[in-house]
Structure 1
Amino acid sequence: MNMQERHSTLQHSAVSEAEVSKLFRNTYTLLAMTMAFSALVAFVSMSMNLPYPGIIVTLVGFYGLLFLTTKLRNSAWGLVSTFAFTGFLGYTLGPILNAYLSMPNGGSVVTLALGMTALVFFSLSAYAIISRKDFSFLSGFIMAGFVVLLVAVVASFFVQISGLQLAISAGFVLFSSAVILYQTSAIIHGGEDNYIMATITLFVSIYNLFLSLLSLIGAFNDD
């Protein structure tokens, strides 16, 4: 390799590192803002004692706003739909938190689930960033996990099997953890170049992780 080729390679590497740093900065800034906004909406939802919207409204709102955000991801309107999406999830979280807070030791359950969620997210993100490992091999596991969990969730509406809900919650903990590793790695290695989509993926993973840990801890607390 001659001097010109080495200079070109180093220049390309510097540009790539700058792009990755910018993507990380934009993603985690937007993630922090959407988490704060979602928490505020959840607090309002709890304070007003709003009812849970129901499974149909929740699914329509979730996938409708997700589809809208995906379509608008390359425009400024994508930011608006991102906050609408995360705000909607915050609204659905309010009634769930009120239900848990009404339980004996409900405050401790919510606090523990929140603390564990933060610990898992930051630990997995730090590991992916520091190790610089490529976790793209998890794509097959994530796809298979999504299908299995979807079937299990649908089955839970029709059959009552002891321990199924706990198994689903445990499955979502593993699934969400894998997605966090995969998405963080994708940002590092160029598998994701849109900070809005990266933010949405991480937000949904954190949301599912929190709800799953809440379900598991609440079940053991109930016992």
Structure 2
Amino acid sequence: MFFHFRRVSTNRKLGPMPAVMASQATCPTTCALQGAGCYAEHGPGSIMWRALTAGRAANQVTFEQLLHLIRALPKKIRWRYGTAGDLPPNDGDSIDLARANGGREAIVFTHGRRYETYRKAGQLGMHINVSTDCAADADAVLDAAPDMSVVTVLPSSAARGRHFTPAGREIAVCPATYAERVTCSSCNLCCRPRPRGVIVGFPAHGSRKRMIDRRLAQA
């Protein structure tokens, strides 16, 4: 399990913020996007991700080294964990990451369903978003754990504005999708609990968006 730490991201949507990529060994086997539209498998960062997963990436770090790098970040900074990959599969490691974060504004997503671990991380000041693969899946997560912050995938054609799940829960499209001046470094939507539990929706994008659109049409 290796990680890649970039002090200042050059990704347009992220903006100039610290960013961490995790190897594929962190991904839950239950993630429906594996081999079925995962952007990290085919996107611009896929070469780096494959090298990191194989333990051959330049400047890769161990988990302990990553914790040291996170602790050394300025206290008032927003950063992104998991530009590819997921949280460490061990609950204790995820809690150690939350402790190292030290209350900073971290943007974290997970395809896992370890709700109690995410609650503990939140109590330590690291907010975690539960990723879902369609609006109905978002409803299922919130039925099981109403206190979770949830994000989901929308069809590539989804317009800006409000959308709704089958159960009537509100979905707001990620502001960076259509507003060029908005980046993760300038938006705080995903790094803290959202008013009224609004779900954040990310329209399918990248080279596999048609594959994702077909899967969403069947969901």
TM-score (norm 1): 0.27
- Select the structure of larger CA radius of gyration: 1
Greater helix percent: which structure?
1
TM-score (norm 2): 0.27
Greater strand percent: which structure?
2
Q: RCO higher in 1 or 2 (8 Å CA, sep ≥ 6)?
A: 1
